[in-house]
Structure 1
Amino acid sequence: MNPQRLSCDILIVGSGPAGLAAARAASRSDLSIVLLDDNPRPGGQIWRNGPGVALPGIARDALQVLEHPRLRYLPGTRVVAGASANALLLENAEQALLVQYQSLILCCGARELLLPFPGWTLPGVTGAGALQALLKNGLAMAGERVVIAGSGPLLLASAATARQAGARVEAVLEQAPLAALATFAAGLWRWPAKLGQAAGLATTAYRYNVHVLEALGEDRLEAVRIQQGEQVREIPCERLACGFGLVPNITLASHLGCQLQANAIAVDRYQATSLTQVYAAGECTGVGGSELARVEGEIAGLAASGQTQEAMALIQRRAHWQAFAERVSETFALQPALLRLARPDTLLCRCEDVPYAAVAGEAGWSEAKLHSRCGMGACQGRVCATAAQALFGWAAPTPRAPLVPARIETLLMESSTPGVK
C-alpha cells in the first residue's frame, strides 16, 4: 500500500505565529504551499483555539492565510521521517502521506522544560504552558486553588488564563531575584507593547526569589512546599503549574541534518539553515516570543519564495525583537538550586518509572537509555531527555526514524519508499 503523494513548492512545518507568518509571506508569490501541524487546530501554543477562547485580532488576521487558494492546510499531521529528494513522510488519523517540496520551512516551536522535583508526578501538577493548553481546551477549574511557579513571562500569562477560567491563583512564584527583575523592568521602555502587556498581566500574587521544593499529597496534589528566601513554607492548593522555561524543538531539524547552535537551529540572515532550500523560523531557532517568531517567519517565507529584497527590509525589526529575547534570557536564567531539587528516588522518566539515581551516574543519554529504559516510553524522551540535558549537561540525542510512534502500515511504507532515511 503506497502513501498518498503530494507535491508543493514550499512545505511549512508548524502553524504557530512563525508558520502562519511564513505562509502569508510566501503566498504573495504564485507558489504552491502546504502547511502542516500535529495539532488539530492552527495557532500554536500562544494562539491555541478552543471552547470559549477569544483569539486576539492579530491571530485572526494571521489565520486568514489558511483560506488562500494555493495553500493546503494539513492539521493533525505528524512528521514520521525525512526522505531524500526533498520529501517528508507524514501520518494523520486516516493515512500516510509523502510530501515532496522545493523548499522547506521549519517552524517547529519549542517545548516546556520540566525539571523533576519530589511530587512532580502527582495528579494536579503540570507545566505552566500545559495548564494553559488544558484550560483553552475546556478544562474546568472554577474555584480551584492554583500555584504557578518557575521562571519567565509565561508564569504571568498562565496565571491570567487560570483567573479567566475562575481559578483562585494563590501565588505566582518567580525564581529570579529582585535585582534582575528590576533591571529588566527598567529597560522595557524600548518595547512599549511588552510594557503594556506586563502591566495588564500584573498580579498581587507575584513573588520573586521563590521556588518550589516539593509537591505534597497522597493520591493527588494537596499542597506545595516552597523556598522563599531563607523561609520554607507550604501553600495548600489543588493545582500546581511549573514553568522552568522553553527549549527549541530541534527534533526534525536534527534528524534532517541541519547545523545546530546552542541547542537551536542555526540560521543566516535569511533564516536559511545549513541545508540547501531549508529554512527555519520561530522558537526552534531560539526562544524569543511571538513578535520575534512572526518577523522571522515572514523573512523565511519571503526568502523561500524568492522575495529577498522584501526579506532584507525586515532585518532591523528582527534585531529589535532579538534584543528583547536576549534580555528575557538573561533575566530569567535558572538559579543552580533548581537543578538540585530531585532526590535519588524522584522519577526522572515518568513513562518508564526511572528514578533520578538510576541515570545520574551515566555518561550520556544513550547509556542512560541502555541501562534504564529512560526515554523509551510513550513520550519518547520529550520530557526526560530535555530535563537530562539541563540537569547533567548531556548532548541532545540524534533523532532516528520514526520520529513519533506511527502505525505499522506507515512504517512499512517508510521501509518500502525509496530514499527514505
Structure 2
Amino acid sequence: MSEQADVLIIGAGPAGLSAALAAANDGARVVLVDDNPLPGGQIWRDGAQARVPAQARQLCDAVDNHATIQRHAATRVAARAGSTSLLVENAERGWVIDYHRLILCTGARELLLPFPGWTLPGVTGAGGLQALIKGGLPVADERTVIAGSGPLLLASASTAKQAGAQVLRIAEQASTSAVAAFALQLPRWPHKLLQSFGLFDGGYRPGTRIVAALGQDRLEGVRLQRGGEIEELECERLACGFGLIPNVQLGQALGCALGSAAIKVDAWQATDMAGIYAAGECTGFGGSELALVEGRIAGHAAAGNREAARRMWPARARWQHFADALNKHFALDPALKRLAQPDTLLCRCEDVPYAAVAAHDNWREAKLATRCGMGACQGRICGGATQYLFDWQPAAPRPPFTPTRIDTLTLLEESAQSSSP
C-alpha cells in the first residue's frame, strides 16, 4: 500500500513546517517527512535540555493539530520509487508515498575543515555541541573554546554557558572590520540587533583562527592565531564550525539543478524539475526567518495559491538582504585552506590523510583510490571539506540514499510492477 499526498514535504525544520501549514491551509493534503524524532530541524532542535522558542512550539503544534497534515518522524527517504513517488523507511516499516507536488526542505549541515588534532575526543562542530547539549550532554564547569565563523559560534557559546560550561574564547576568523561592518547593518533588522545583545560575549575575538587542537588521547588545549600572535589555552572541549553547507543530495538525486552549491529555485521556490520546489537552507543559508518565509511561498505555490505566495515576496527580499550581508561579511579567509598538514586526517571514517586526497584531481578519483567518503558518514563531512578545499563537487548519490532494509527495497519492484501497463 502506498500513501497519497497532494504535497509531500521532506524536512520538518522552519521551512518544512511553514510550508506544510501554508499548503494545508490552502486545502492540500500534506505529508511531512523528517529523519529526526522531533520536529524543528537543527535550528529548533528539541531535547532534554533544549529551550525551544515559543514560535517554534506554536508552529509545531499547529502542524500536528491540522486535520490534513500527516507528519512522519524518524523517517528517511531511501530511494525514488517513480516519477512522482518516493520510497521511505522508519524503524518499523518501509512504504511508498505518491505525491502531486514535492517540496525539499532538507536544510544544511556544518562545514567542518580538517586541522591538526581535529579528530581528538572532545572536539565537535559548533552546531554539534549545541545538539549534544540539548540532547543531555553534561558540560558543567568544562573549559570550552568555540572557533570558526559566523553567528552560530555565539549561539553555541550561549547554549554552552546556559549548561554551565566555562567559555574561555570565541575565535571568529572574520576580520574585525568585517564583523564591525556587519554589526553596523543590524539596525535594519531590529529583532536580530536585539538578539545580538543577548549573545554578546566578552571572550569574542574576531580575526582569530584555530591552528591546532592539542592533546594525546583526548583534547587538552587549543592553539589559536590572531595576526602574528599565537595563543594557547587549556580546555576540555572545542567546538569548531566554519558556517553551513546546503544539504542538496536528495535534490541532486532527483535531477534538480544547483547554483552556488545550493538547490536553484525561481521566484516561486520552484526548481527546474517540474513539480519540485525547495525552501530553506538547502537553497542557501539565511537563518530561520528567511527559511520560514521561503517555506510559506513554496507551500502556497505548490498548493496552487500563487497570490498568497506573491504576497510573501517583500518579506523574503528583506531577509534575503540579511542573508547577503551575513554571507558577505563572514566569508571564509582562503588561509583556512592551509590549516591541514599532509598527515592530518581529512576523511576520519576511513583514516585517509590530507596528502593522499590532495594528490588527486577530483572527488571521484580520490574516492576510488583512497576510500575517502566511503565510510559511515558517506562523505557528508569530508565531501564538504573537499568541496571547500579543492572546489570539488561531489556526485549525486545513488539509491539507496541511506542504509535501508532489504524488505523495504523490495517495495521498489512492487511499485514498478503496479505502475506498469
Match of 1:172 in 2: 170
CA contact under 8 A between 2:148 and 2:242: conserved in structure 1? yes
2:28 alignment partner in structure 1: 31
| SS at 2:196 equivalent | helix
1:119 alignment partner, one of 117, 120, 143: 117
Matched, 1:40 2:30: no
Percent identity of equivalent pairs:
57
SS at match of 2:346: strand
- Give CA deviations for 1:211-234 in whole Å, capped at 9, x if unaligned: 100001111100001111111121
Q: 2:53 aligns with which of 32, 50, 56?
A: 56
How many Å separate the matches in 2 of 1:416 and 1:369? 33
Q: 1:407 to 1:118 in 2, by over 3 A?
A: same
The 8 Å contact of residues 130 and 159 in structure 2, kept in 1 or not, is answered as: yes
Q: Whole-Å Cα distance in 1 between the matches of residues 406 and 129 of structure 2? A: 33
Matches of 1:415 and 1:159, distance apart in 2: 49
**2:290 is the counterpart of 1:286:** no
Structure 1 residue runs of 5 or longer lacking an equivalent are none
Q: CA deviation at 1:415?
A: 5.0
| 1:395 matched residue in structure 2 | 393
The answer as to whether partners of 2:13 and 2:44 remain within 8 angstroms in 1 is yes
Matched, 1:307 2:331: no
Deviation readout 1:16-58 (Å, 9 max, x if unpaired)? 0000000111111222110010011000011111113232111
Q: Per-residue deviation at 1:302?
A: 0.6
CA contact (8 A) 1:248 1:286 kept: yes
Distance, in Å, in 1 between the alignment partners of 2:320 and 2:206 is 25
Work out whether residues 125 and 241 of structure 2, in 8 Å CA contact, stay in contact via their aligned partners in 1.
Answer: yes
CA RMSD of aligned residues (A): 1.2
CA distance in structure 1 between the aligned counterparts of 2:84 and 2:219, rounded to whole angstroms: 48
**Number of residue pairs matched by the alignment:** 417
| 2:339 maps to which of 335, 338, 341 | 341
Q: 1:375 aligns with which of 373, 376, 388?
A: 373
The letter for the 2-side match of 1:241 is A
* 1:146 aligned residue: 144
Return the letter of the residue paired with 1:187: Q
SS at match of 1:10: strand
- C-alpha deviations, 1:66-122, integer Å up to 9, x for none? 211111110000111123230011111111111000110000000100000010000
* Correspondent of 1:94 among 92, 95, 101: 92
Q: Provide the secondary structure at the position in 2 that maps to 1:297.
A: helix
State whether residues 110 and 245 of structure 2, in contact with CA within 8 Å, keep that contact through their aligned partners in structure 1.
Answer: yes
Partner Cα separation in structure 2 for residue 213 and residue 256 of structure 1: 39
Does 1:18 find its partner at 2:47?
A: no
Which of 202, 210, 225 does residue 223 from structure 2 map onto?
225
How far apart, in 2, do the equivalents of 1:246 and 1:202 lie? Answer: 21
Q: Secondary structure at the match of 1:63?
A: helix
Q: Tell me, in whole angstroms, the C-alpha distance in 1 between the residues paired with 2:355 and 2:265.
A: 38
Q: 1:259 aligns with which of 257, 274, 285?
A: 257
Q: Note if contact 2:174-2:329 (Cα within 8 Å) is conserved in structure 1.
A: yes
Whole-Å Cα distance in 2 between the matches of residues 401 and 322 of structure 1?
34
Q: What residue is the counterpart of 1:406 in the other structure?
A: 404
Whether contact under 8 Å (2:357, 2:370) holds in the other structure is yes
Cα distance between partner residues in 2 of 1:166 and 1:268: 45
Structure 1 counterpart of 2:244: 246
Over 6 Å off, 4+ runs = none
For residue 197 of structure 1, report the CA deviation from its aligned partner.
0.6
Counterpart-to-counterpart distance in 2, 1:213 and 1:417: 52
Say yes or no: does 1:270 pair with 2:268: yes
Mapped partners of 2:95, 2:362: distance in 1: 35
Structure 1 Cα separation of the partners of residues 12 and 358 of structure 2: 37
**2:186 maps to 1:191:** no
Residue 68, structure 1, aligned to residue 66, structure 2: yes
What is the alpha-carbon distance in structure 2 between the residues aligned to residue 259 and residue 394 of structure 1?
Answer: 16
* Partner amino acid, structure 2, of 1:390: Y
TM-score where L is the length of structure 1: 0.97
The amino acid that maps onto 2:40 is G
Deviation at residue 144 of structure 1 after TM alignment: 0.5
Tell me the TM-score normalized by structure 2: 0.97
- CA deviations 1:137-178 (Å, max 9, x no partner) are 111111101000000000000000000100000100101111
Kept in 1: contact 2:11–2:104 (CA 8 A): yes
In 2, are the aligned partners of 1:85 and 1:100 still within 8 Å (CA)? no
Other structure's SS at 1:187 match: helix
